[in-house]
Amino acid sequence: QKEVEQDPGPLSVPEGAIVSLNCTYSNSAFQYFMWYRQYSRKGPELLMYTYSSGNKEDGRFTAQVDKSSKYISLFIRDSQPSDSATYLCATLSSSNTGKLIFGQGTTLQVKP
């Protein structure tokens, strides 16, 4: 079993839709969770960062962590064609060395 699981998609939605991206993880010791957005041929860009459980909102993006079910989510409201990218969930390894454990990434396409 991978430490972080993510459905690779692809996911295709119409413009304006609410997008839900999800990951599960296996180690209850993980505390720090991140969502990155990667456009084609570019490095990943940090979108959201959360610690432990709860929600965090930033504009159209909401990150959610449910530690009881080991489930992390990213919601995108009013999705735009410019949101079309690959979204990577990640967590810091419990050794706190800064080493990231990634999900496989979900490819999202928002159609105009």
Q: Which is nearer to other proteins, 38 or 62 (CB)?
A: 38
Q: Which is nearer to other proteins, 14 or 41 (CB)?
A: 41
Q: How many residues bind other proteins (CB under 8 A)?
A: 22
Q: How far is the CB of 65 from other proteins (least distance, A)?
A: 14
Residue 92 is a binding residue for other proteins (CB under 8 A): yes
- Site residues for other proteins, 34-63, by CB under 8 A, read 34, 36, 41-46, 49, 51
Does residue 14 interact with other proteins by CB under 8 A?
Answer: no
- Report cis status (omega within 30 of 0) of the bond before 10: yes
Transcribe 10-60 into DSSP letters.
Answer: -EEEETT--EEEEEEES-TT--EEEEEEE-TTS--EEEEEEESSEEEEETT
Q: Tell me 98's DSSP state.
A: S
Report CA Rg, the chain. Answer: 13
Contact between 21 and 109 under an 8 Å Cβ cutoff? The reply is: no
Looking only at residues 72 through 91 of this chain, which bind other proteins when binding is defined by CB under 8 A?
88, 90
Contact positions vs other proteins (CB under 8 A) = 32, 34, 36, 41-46, 49, 51, 88, 90, 92, 96-100, 102, 104-105
